[in-house]
Amino acid sequence: MNLAENFSPLLINLPVIITLIIITRYIIGFKTWRNYTSLALALSFFFINMRSDSIILTTIVWLALSVGIIGIATITKYLLRKISMNFYSRIAMMYLTAITFFYLVAIVISFIFKTNFFYVQEVIIAGFLIGSTIDDLAILQFKKSTAEFLRRMITSVLLGLVGGLLLTWEWWNAFIVNRFEILIVILIVNIVVANWKNLRLTELLRFKSVTR
């Protein structure tokens, strides 16, 4: 029995995406919040693609949902900032407005593309995964300045997109499922990053005049 034929590349991609996140943070210098946000967004891309015959359509729908759900939740928290309520009630309101937005987008996109694209299980799961990032982003918004929150949120979304593209890239998935030694490569990369003492790439750009 060929083990590769019965093994999903989804699990192998998990440490790959995590490694991309830490490289982005410690080598490049773009900070995220927690790993879960980018992982959930990447997985939501994967589920949407299961019901799409076009990577372009997948990307459009994923971006509409991700930017919309996260954006509406963020705006809701901002509008509620002066209203006296406990933290978890505020989070519940963010979830409520985000899910309401999801169904509004469902109606609009389904009308445009003449399809019931949003009424299948995979897309509902994708919406659930995107919505599940609201808690982490709300805490990030609470702890960081608006500018820092936006930088980290944008980085998390972009990493989610990159991760989603990896999860749905047929050549890549066929490659890694037949080469378990990729896990050794990932381990080596993580060891290198863990011992990285040099300036990050963004810091090199910031202090370019000094390094000269």
Structure tokens at 75: 């705006």
Cα-Cα-Cα-Cα dihedral sign, residues 118, 123, 129, 130? negative
Q: Tokens 């109606």 identify what position? A: 107
Helices and strands in the chain: count of H runs, count of E runs: 11, 0
Query: Are the C-beta atoms of 152 and 32 separated by less than 8 Å?
Result: yes
Residues in the chain: 212
Identify the pLDDT of residue 83: 82
181: how many CB neighbours lie within 10 A of its CB?
A: 8
Tens-digit pLDDT string for the chain (212 aa): 454 555 678 888 999 999 999 998 888 888 887 889 999 999 999 999 988 878 998 998 899 888 888 888 888 888 887 788 887 888 888 889 988 888 887 777 777 767 666 667 888 888 889 988 888 887 877 777 878 888 888 899 999 999 999 999 999 998 888 887 888 999 999 999 888 877 777 766 666 655 55
Residue in 41, 20, 53 with CA at minimum distance from that of residue 185: 20
Instruction: Identify the burial level of 210 via C-beta atoms within 10 angstroms of its C-beta, where 0-12 means exposed, 13-18 middle and 19 or more buried.
Output: exposed
- This prediction's pTM: 0.84
- Rounded CA-CA distance 109/186 in Å is 39
